Amino acid sequence: MNIYVLLKRTFDTEEKISLTGGKINEDGAEFIINPYDEYAVEEAIQVRDAQGGEVTVISVGTEEAEKQLRTALAMGADKAVLINIEDEIENGDQFTTSKIIAEYLKDKEADLIIAGNVAIDGGSGQVGPRVAELLEIPYITTITKLEISDGNVSVTRDVEGDSEIIETSLPLLVTAQQGLNEPRYPSLPGIMKAKKKPLEELELDDLDLEEEDVEAKTKTLEIYLPPKKEAGKVLSGEIKDQVTELVQLLRSEAKVI
Ligand SMILES: Cc1cc2nc3c(=O)[nH]c(=O)nc-3n(C[C@H](O)[C@H](O)[C@H](O)COP(=O)(O)OP(=O)(O)OC[C@H]3O[C@@H](n4cnc5c(N)ncnc54)[C@H](O)[C@@H]3O)c2cc1C
């Protein structure tokens, strides 16, 4: 089976993020595989081990993403592709990324494409569905279980805490939700093997794309941190007085009643 994983290099949002000039400050920031894409890599490896075939991991970005691609190879993926657009595109958006990935995949005869449900930095959840639309294949988002047998696919998806079971067939794109699996850590032999696994680097030219073909459709006007949380107010005194004060505060300060 021909399996592709879409992998994004993202900020580690567990770390402190700072802004400089309206942009996220990359100096000193930690970068990781988008956590939902780790589920995608793990699922792809499990499907390949059960069904046979090959797992290729694709990332659109800069050469720094090579580190995250090598980690996916160390987990057990077979090949990686880095579409390096650093020198060609200054401002990309979800359209840019999806168009590039779809252009790469259009003649690859992918049976299964697994993306993350959402990137923890950009957070739009658009890239997976956009790629499927461009390739004109079905897609199912936020999946928590994937079973494939003789080309028939049964998928369980998370619908805001409830589950939905969908039966379909390949080719298919799915997006991984938390709970799909427990991503493995790369083993030491895995890390050694990963150094020799193929990592292809492509540019827009290699995909017959011009900059204007992938020009962003949206413009980010501003990026800002959420307002600081103010300390809560603790009322004291007789309960009756506290209730009166609370009602007054809700009216005059919070202005919610
Ligand atoms: C060269 C470049 C320039 C950019 N410039 C800007 C900018 O100026 N302003 C701005 O706000 N943003 C910029 N971006 C970021 C870009 O708009 C989004 O991060 C990207 O389109 C993905 O959207 P998202 O983060 O909402 O991902 P989502 O749609 O939430 O991601 C869902 C899933 O899609 C897949 N995916 C997402 N991104 C990639 C990727 N790059 N490679 C492989 N798979 C992926 C992953 O599986 C991921 O889990 C730029 C990106 C690039 C590569």
Residue ranges of domains in the chain, CATH in brackets: 2-214 (3.40.50.620), 227-257 (no CATH)
Its pTM stands at 0.88
| Residue 35 Cβ < 6 Å to ligand 1 | no
Percent of the chain topping pLDDT 70:
100
Which residues, 6 or more positions from 217, have their beta carbon under 8 angstroms from its beta carbon? Answer: 93, 95
Percent of the chain topping pLDDT 90:
79
Q: What are the phi and psi torsion angles at 159 (to 5°)?
A: -120, 85
> Distance, CA 245 to ligand 1 centroid (Å)?
48
89 band by pLDDT with thresholds 50, 70 and 90 = confident
Q: Which atom of ligand 1 is nearest to the CA of 89?
A: 1
| Residue 220 Cβ < 6 Å to ligand 1 | yes
| The one-letter amino acid at 235 | L
| Residue 91 Cβ < 6 Å to ligand 1 | yes
pLDDT of residue 196: 96
| Residue 36 Cβ < 6 Å to ligand 1 | yes
DSSP string, 34-103: -HHHHHHHHHHHHHHHHH--EEEEEEEE-GGGHHHHHHHHHHT-SEEEEEE-TTT-SS--HHHHHHHHHH
Residue of minimum CA distance from atom 24 in ligand 1: 122
**pLDDT tens, residue by residue, 47-87:** 999 999 999 999 999 999 999 999 999 999 999 999 999 88
> Could you tell me whether strands 112-116 and 19-20 are parallel, antiparallel, or unpaired per DSSP bridges?
unpaired
| Residue 151 Cβ < 6 Å to ligand 1 | no
pLDDT of residue 239: 95
| Residue 142 Cβ < 6 Å to ligand 1 | no
- DSSP H or E run through 3: strand 2-6
